């Protein structure tokens, strides 16, 4: 990575397919934005779907991966091994529109540096990735590619007729791009597969902030979702997609209820509805919970990224309200790029069950966090540990203290404060 001239960096442009809701990319982008703003930079945003800073944002519908035409192209590209002639032209047409809008964005806000959030990593939106690669190449624009997960990490991207697109833009090999990954395995694989060097910046959390506490507003949450005060509310703070392993959470709650003499006191709430991977798995989860006799709560109508009120007077609670009113967090994912929900549980001082997915075992567990750990499936030992921690408030407090201290030491905003300026200096740029 190099530039042919030094530049002063004042205006930073974030680009992604969406800045909206509580998906992992949006949450992590928000953290980077907070730190960069604190460091004195002005930030701007380009996306296809956004509920952020309207005066500093450009929103183009075709840049959203959920746009109907983009979805159709995506399904065809990864659903067949040969590409019809017209498909290339259709991709090029959308790419051209997005590229023109990106040029306008860069000029309008006088962008000095781009931060591309996952749009160069996972091919959810091929026209956007190709448009960005061409823009960066043509302008020699200093760019940080913040890569959360790559195409080779998802089975559904392993076949199709996208090889040339993947080679061009997922990720691109351009001299003005500095690649950032969120775990050590991604760093190794990026070097091995693409010959691209990178720096690792893990997901972080603002441990200096204050958590949402049980208060008058969220006092009614449990009642509104059908959970009694003496019930045990297990919270799975993830989307309903297959790799989140919700079956293990259902089995945990079923075993817990059986171990407490069939009281049915354990209830499971999943915070995020199915979003971008279809409803088939979501239906399986609902059927499995019914089969196991577990009350499964999925209420996107009253749980969102922040508090609000429906026109009919019904409260909408934030994800943080759900943490404040839950008793135990489940996180049995088979794969994660890092693990935002893990950081959230630590911050909210909640006991947590974790499946030892590869990145957790490599990058997080060695730091010394105290969790209930499983290796792909529920065991009696895991159940006993959960029951022990729920029945022993003092032990739960000690675990929470240890985990919070480790989070502040290794995964706080200080990581960004130190590493982001270092990245900018590597451009030969001044700020």
Asked if pLDDT for residue 390 goes beyond 60, the answer is: yes
Among the residue ranges 11-25, 82-96, 319-333, 356-370, the one predicted with the least confidence is 11-25
Asked if pLDDT for residue 370 goes beyond 70, the answer is: yes
pLDDT value of residue 135? 98
Angle in degrees, CA 416, 422, 427, rounded to 5: 130
CATH number of the domain within which 63 lies: 3.40.50.2000
CA–CA separation, 38 vs 209, rounded Å? 14
pLDDT value of residue 4? 53
Question: How confident is the model over 75-112, as pLDDT tens digits?
Answer: 999 999 999 989 999 999 999 999 999 999 999 999 99
Neighbours of 324 (CB within 10 A): 20
What is the rounded end-to-end Cα distance, in angstroms, of the chain? Answer: 18
pLDDT value of residue 425? 87
Tally the domains of the chain.
2
Percent of the chain predicted with pLDDT > 70: 96
Structure tokens belonging to residue 347:
């911050």
* Mean of all residue pLDDT scores within the chain: 93
pTM score over 0.95: no
Q: Is residue 388 located within the same domain as residue 271? A: yes
Q: Is residue 160 located within the same domain as residue 225? A: no
CA–CA separation, 340 vs 335, rounded Å? 12
Q: Is residue 226 located within the same domain as residue 363? A: yes
The average pLDDT across 8-20 equals 95
In a domain, 6, yes or no: no
In a domain, 210, yes or no: no
pLDDT value of residue 218? 96
In a domain, 164, yes or no: yes
Question: How confident is the model over 33-86, as pLDDT tens digits?
Answer: 999 999 999 999 999 999 999 999 999 999 999 999 999 999 999 999 999 989
CA–CA separation, 253 vs 267, rounded Å? 7
In a domain, 280, yes or no: yes
3-state helix, strand and coil shares in percent for the chain, rounded to the nearest 5: 45, 15, 40
pLDDT value of residue 275? 56
Are 221 and 325 a contacting pair, CB within 8 Å? yes
Torsion angle of the four alpha carbons 97, 100, 102, 108, in this order, in degrees rounded to the nearest 10: -140
pLDDT value of residue 431? 47
The average pLDDT across 188-202 equals 96
CA–CA separation, 21 vs 49, rounded Å? 10
Among the residue ranges 57-71, 147-161, 189-203, the one predicted with the least confidence is 147-161
Q: Is residue 163 located within the same domain as residue 251? A: no
Q: Is residue 143 located within the same domain as residue 172? A: yes
pLDDT value of residue 79? 94
Number of DSSP helices (H) and strands (E) in the chain, helices first: 15, 16
Q: Is residue 175 located within the same domain as residue 231? A: no
CA–CA separation, 36 vs 33, rounded Å? 5
Q: Is residue 309 located within the same domain as residue 336? A: yes
Helix-helix angle 340-347:393-410, to 10 degrees? 120
pLDDT value of residue 24? 80
Q: Is residue 159 located within the same domain as residue 245? A: no
In a domain, 281, yes or no: yes
Q: Is residue 236 located within the same domain as residue 338? A: yes
Range of the domain at 52: 11-204+413-425
Strand order in the sheet with 177-181: 57-59, 42-47, 11-15, 113-117, 143-147, 177-181, 199-200
In a domain, 209, yes or no: no
The average pLDDT across 365-381 equals 97
DSSP state of 327: S
Asked if pLDDT for residue 178 goes beyond 80, the answer is: yes
Asked if pLDDT for residue 428 goes beyond 90, the answer is: no
CA–CA separation, 171 vs 168, rounded Å? 7
The average pLDDT across 238-248 equals 92
């Amino acid at each position: 990575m190099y530039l042919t001239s030094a530049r002063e960096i004042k205006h930073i442009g974030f680009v992604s397919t969406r800045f909206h809701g509580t998906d992992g990319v949006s949450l992590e982008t928000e953290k980077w934005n907070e730190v960069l703003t604190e460091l004195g930079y002005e930030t701007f945003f380009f996306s296809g779907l956004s509920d952020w800073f309207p005066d500093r944002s450009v929103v183009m519908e075709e840049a959203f991966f959920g746009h109907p035409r983009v979805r159709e192209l995506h399904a065809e590209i990864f659903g067949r091994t040969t590409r019809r002639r017209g498909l290339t032209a259709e991709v090029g047409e959308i790419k051209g529109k997005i590229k023109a809008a990106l040029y306008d964005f860069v000029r309008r806000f006088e962008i000095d540096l781009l931060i591309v959030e996952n749009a160069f990593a996972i091919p959810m939106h091929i026209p956007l990735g190709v448009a960005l690669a061409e823009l960066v190449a043509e302008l020699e624009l200093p760019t940080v590619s913040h890569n959360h997960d790559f195409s080779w990490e998802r089975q559904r991207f392993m076949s199709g007729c996208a090889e040339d697109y993947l080679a061009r833009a997922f990720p691109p090999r351009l001299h003005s791009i500095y690649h950032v990954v969120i775990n050590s395995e991604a760093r190794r694989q990026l070097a091995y597969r693409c010959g691209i060097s990178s720096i690792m910046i893990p997901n972080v959390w603002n441990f200096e902030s204050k958590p949402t506490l049980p208060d008058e507003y969220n006092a009614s949450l449990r009642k509104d979702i059908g959970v009694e005060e003496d019930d045990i509310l297990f919270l799975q703070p993830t989307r309903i997609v297959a790799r989140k392993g919700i079956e293990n959470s259902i089995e945990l709650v079923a075993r817990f209820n059986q171990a407490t003499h069939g009281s049915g006191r354990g209830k499971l709430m999943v915070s995020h509805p199915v979003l971008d991977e279809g409803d088939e798995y979501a239906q399986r989860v609902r059927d499995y919970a019914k089969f196991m006799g577990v009350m499964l709560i999925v209420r996107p109508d009253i749980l969102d990224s922040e508090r609000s009120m429906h026109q009919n007077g019904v409260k909408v609670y934030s994800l943080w309200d759900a943490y404040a009113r839950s008793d135990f967090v489940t996180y049995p994912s088979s794969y994660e790029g890092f693990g935002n929900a893990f950081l959230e549980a630590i911050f909210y001082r909640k006991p947590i069950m974790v499946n030892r997915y590869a990145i957790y075992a490599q990058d997080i567990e060695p730091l010394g966090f105290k969790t209930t750990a499983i290796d792909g499936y529920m065991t009696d030992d895991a159940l006993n540990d959960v029951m022990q921690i729920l029945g022993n408030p003092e032990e739960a407090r000690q675990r929470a203290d240890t985990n919070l201290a480790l989070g502040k030491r290794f995964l706080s905003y200080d990581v960004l404060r130190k590493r982001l300026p270092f990245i900018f200096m590597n451009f030969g740029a001044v700020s």
